[in-house]
C-alpha cells in the first residue's frame, strides 16, 4: 500500500485550519479541530516519533496555559467545565506541536531564531485570539503580552530540545545557531 505524501506546506495549512476552527468555532467546532488533528496523525509516516514530540510538548503547553488560567491571566467564557482551559485550546496545542517535525522543522536547528520568534509570535497569536473573542486577559494587555512572550522564549527552548531528540539526525552542515 502506497503512503500519501504529506508535504510541509500541507502541514502548515492544516495547523492554520486548526487555529481558525478553534478560535472562530470554539466549543461548537471542537469536533472539527479533533478531526483536523486526526488528519495529521493519518498523514504522518512515523507515528511513534511524532507522538514522542507531540505528547510531551502539548502536555507542557496545556499545563502552562492551565496555570495562566488558574492565576487569572487568561479568562475563558464560558468557563471550561473539565479542565482549566477549553478543549479547543488543547486542539490548538496539538496542532501547533504537530508542526515541529514538519512545517517548522527548520526551527529545531536554529534556536537563536526560534526562541525570539516564539517570544514574538505567541503573544501575537493570543492577542489575535483575544481580538476574535476567544479569550480575555485578566491583566493589562501589555503585561499579558510580556508574560506570554517571556514564557514562550523558555517554552521554545524546551520544545527545541524535545523536538531535536526525536528528529532525524541532522547532517553537520544544516545545524546552526542561526
Q: What SS3 string covers the chain?
A: CCCCCCCHHHHHHHHHHHHHHHHHHHHHHHHHHHHHHHHHHHHCCCHHHHHHHHHHHHHHHHHHHHHHHHCCCEECCCCCCCCCCCHHHHHHHHHHHCCCCCCCHHHHCCHHHHHHHHHHHHHHHHHHHHHCCCCEECCCHHHHHHHHHHHHHHHHHHHHHHHHHCCCCCCHHHCCCC
| Residue (of 45, 38, 40) closest to 3 by Cα position | 45
The pTM of the full predicted model, rounded to 2 decimals, is 0.89
Report which of residues 70 and 166 the model is more confident about. Answer: 70
Q: Give 97-127 pLDDT, tens digit per residue.
A: 999 999 999 887 799 999 999 999 999 999 9
126-137 pLDDT, tens per residue?
A: 999 999 999 999
pLDDT in tens, 9-64: 999 999 999 999 999 999 999 999 999 999 999 999 889 999 999 999 999 999 99
C-alpha span between 32 and 54 (Å, rounded): 19
Residue 154, Cβ neighbours under 10 Å: how many? 13
- Say what percent of the chain tops pLDDT 70: 91
pLDDT above 80 (res 177):
no
**Residue 165 confidence (pLDDT):** 80
Using an 8 Å Cβ cutoff, are 126 and 148 in contact? yes
Amino acid at each position: 500500500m502506497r503512503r500519501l505524501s504529506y508535504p510541509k506546506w500541507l502541514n502548515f495549512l492544516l495547523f492554520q485550519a486548526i487555529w481558525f476552527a478553534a478560535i472562530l468555532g470554539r466549543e461548537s467546532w471542537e469536533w472539527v479541530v479533533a478531526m483536523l488533528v486526526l488528519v495529521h496523525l493519518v498523514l504522518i509516516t512515523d507515528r511513534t516519533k511524532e507522538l514522542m514530540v507531540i505528547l510531551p510538548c502539548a502536555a507542557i503547553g496545556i499545563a502552562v496555559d492551565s496555570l495562566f488560567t488558574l492565576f487569572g491571566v487568561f479568562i475563558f467564557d464560558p468557563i471550561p467545565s473539565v479542565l482549566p482551559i477549553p478543549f479547543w485550546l488543547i486542539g490548538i496545542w496539538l496542532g501547533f506541536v504537530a508542526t515541529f517535525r514538519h512545517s517548522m522543522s527548520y526551527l529545531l536547528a536554529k534556536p537563536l531564531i526560534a526562541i525570539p520568534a516564539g517570544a514574538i509570535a505567541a503573544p501575537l497569536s493570543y492577542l489575535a485570539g483575544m481580538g476574535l473573542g476567544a479569550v480575555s486577559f485578566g491583566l493589562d494587555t501589555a503585561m499579558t503580552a510580556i508574560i506570554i512572550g517571556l514564557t514562550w522564549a523558555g517554552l521554545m527552548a524546551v520544545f527545541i530540545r524535545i523536538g531535536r531528540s526525536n528528529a532525524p539526525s541532522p547532517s553537520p552542515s544544516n545545524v546552526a545557531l542561526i
